[in-house]
Amino acid sequence: MLKDNAASNTEARDNPTVRWREKITRRSICLASSQAIAAALFAAPPRTELLFCCDATNDVFQAAGGRYPRYATATDTIRNAPRGSSVLILSDGYPALTTPLSSELFDEALEKQLRLYVEYPSFLPDLACGAPRSTTWERAVVASELFGPELKPSRILAIHGCRYVPVESVKADILLARVAGFDTAVYGLPQTGVSPILFEHPSAPVLVATTKLSQFVTGRYAPIDAWDVVWKRILRWLSGGNNSTALHWSPVVRPSYSRSARLPSGVEGEAFQRGAMWYGNARLFIHRSWAQKEVEARSHNDRVAEAPKLAWPLGDGSLGMLEGFSSSIQPDGSQPVRWWLRADCMGESSFAMALSEGGRQIAANLNDFIYVRSNLAQGPRASPDSASFGLVGWNTSQDGVYYGDDNARMMLGTMGTASALRSSAWDQPLLRCLVANLRTTGPLGFRGNRLEEADVQKNGWRHYFTLGRVNYAPHFECYLWAAYLWAWDKTRSRPFLDCAKRGITAMMSAYPHEWRWTNGIQQERARMLLPLAWLVRVEPTAEHRGWLRHMASELLAFQDASGAIREEVGSAGKGRYGPPKTNAVYGATEAPLIQNNGDLLSDLLYTTNFAFLGLHEASAATGDRLYHDAETKLAEFLCRIQVRSTQRRELDGAWFRAFDFGRWEYWASNSDVGWGAWSIETGWTQAWITAVLGMRGKGSSLWSLTADSKIGDHKDMIQEMLPDV
What was the pLDDT predicted at 219? 98
Amino acid 15: pLDDT: 44
Give Cα separations from 429 to 135, 275, 289, 436, 500 (angstroms): 46, 28, 30, 10, 21
Choose between 580 and 33: higher pLDDT: 580
* Strands 86-89 vs 70-71: parallel, antiparallel or unpaired: unpaired
Compute the mean pLDDT over every residue in the chain, rounded to the nearest whole number.
Answer: 93
DSSP 392-448: --SBSSSTTEE-HHHHHHHHHHHHHHHHHTT--TTHHHHHHHHHHHHTTS-TTS---
pLDDT given for residue 206 in this prediction: 97
Average pLDDT of the segment spanning 162-187: 96
| Cβ proximity of 156 and 184 under 8 Å | yes
What single letter denotes the amino acid at residue 534?
W
Q: What is the mean pLDDT of residues 248-262?
A: 97
For a pLDDT cut of 90, what percent of the chain falls above it?
Answer: 91
- What architecture is domain 267-580+592-721? Alpha/alpha barrel (1.50)
Q: What is the pLDDT of residues 642-678, one digit of tens each?
A: 999 999 999 999 999 999 999 999 999 999 998 999 9
5-19, 251-265, 456-470: least confidently modelled range: 5-19
Domain 46-238 belongs in CATH node 1.10.3470:
no
Q: How confident is the model at residue 415 (pLDDT cuts 50, 70, 90)?
A: very high
**pLDDT surpassing 80 at residue 573:** yes
42 — pLDDT class (breaks 50, 70, 90): very low
* pLDDT tens by residue, 352-411: 999 998 999 999 999 999 999 999 999 999 999 999 999 999 999 999 999 999 999 999
| 267-580+592-721 matches 46-238 in CATH topology | no
C-alpha 696/C-alpha 683 separation (Å) is: 19
For the entire predicted model, the pTM comes to 0.94
Residue 31's pLDDT is what?
Answer: 39
Q: Shortest CA distance to 435 belongs to which of 500, 391, 479, 386?
A: 391
Amino acid at 554: E
**Residue 18's pLDDT is what?**
47
Contact indicator for 702, 534 with CB cutoff of 8 Å: no
pLDDT score, position 20: 52
Q: What is the pLDDT of residues 88-104, one digit of tens each?
A: 999 999 999 999 999 99
Instruction: Give the pairing of strands 115-119 and 401-402.
Output: unpaired
Question: By the 8 A CB rule, do 685 and 609 touch?
Answer: yes
**Exposure of 582 in the CB half-sphere (CA atoms within 13 A):** 5
- SS3 for 662? coil
Average pLDDT of the residues in 7-26: 46
Cα angle 648, 265, 664 (rounded to 5 degrees) comes to 45
When pLDDT is averaged across residues 611-616 and rounded to a whole number, the result is 99
**What band does 33 get if pLDDT is binned at 50, 70 and 90?**
very low
Beta strands in 253-375 (DSSP E): 254-255, 304-305, 324-325, 337-338
Q: What is the pLDDT of residue 44?
A: 44
What's the confidence (pLDDT) of residue 4? 39
Do 220 and 129 contact (CB within 8 A), yes or no?
A: no
Q: Average pLDDT for residues 155-184, to the nearest whole number?
A: 96
DSSP state at residue 302? G
3-state secondary structure 23-72: HHHHHHHHHCCCCCHHHHHHCCCCCCCEEEECCCCCHHHHHCCCCCCEEC
pLDDT digits (tens, 9 = 90+) for 333-349: 999 999 999 999 999 99
Query: Are the C-beta atoms of residues 135 and 162 closer than 8 Å to each other?
Result: yes
CA atoms of 272 and 285, how far apart (whole Å): 19
By residue count, the chain amounts to 725
Decide if pLDDT at 501 tops 50: yes
Per-residue pLDDT at 38: 35
Res. 572 pLDDT band, cuts 50 70 90: confident
Cα 32 to Cα 590: distance, rounded to the nearest angstrom: 57
Percent of the chain at pLDDT > 70 equals: 93
What is the spatial distance between Cα 206 and Cα 218, in angstroms, rounded to a whole number?
25
Q: What's the pLDDT score for residue 169?
A: 81
pLDDT bucket at 22, cuts 50 / 70 / 90: low
Give the pLDDT of residue 48: 54
pLDDT, one tens digit per residue, over 257-298 is 999 999 999 999 999 999 999 999 999 999 999 999 999 999
**Cis ω for the linkage preceding 16 (within 30 of 0):** no
Q: For 42-51, 359-368, 466-475, 563-572, which range has the lowest pLDDT when averaged over its residues?
A: 42-51
Residue ranges covered by each domain of the chain: 1-43, 46-238, 267-580+592-721
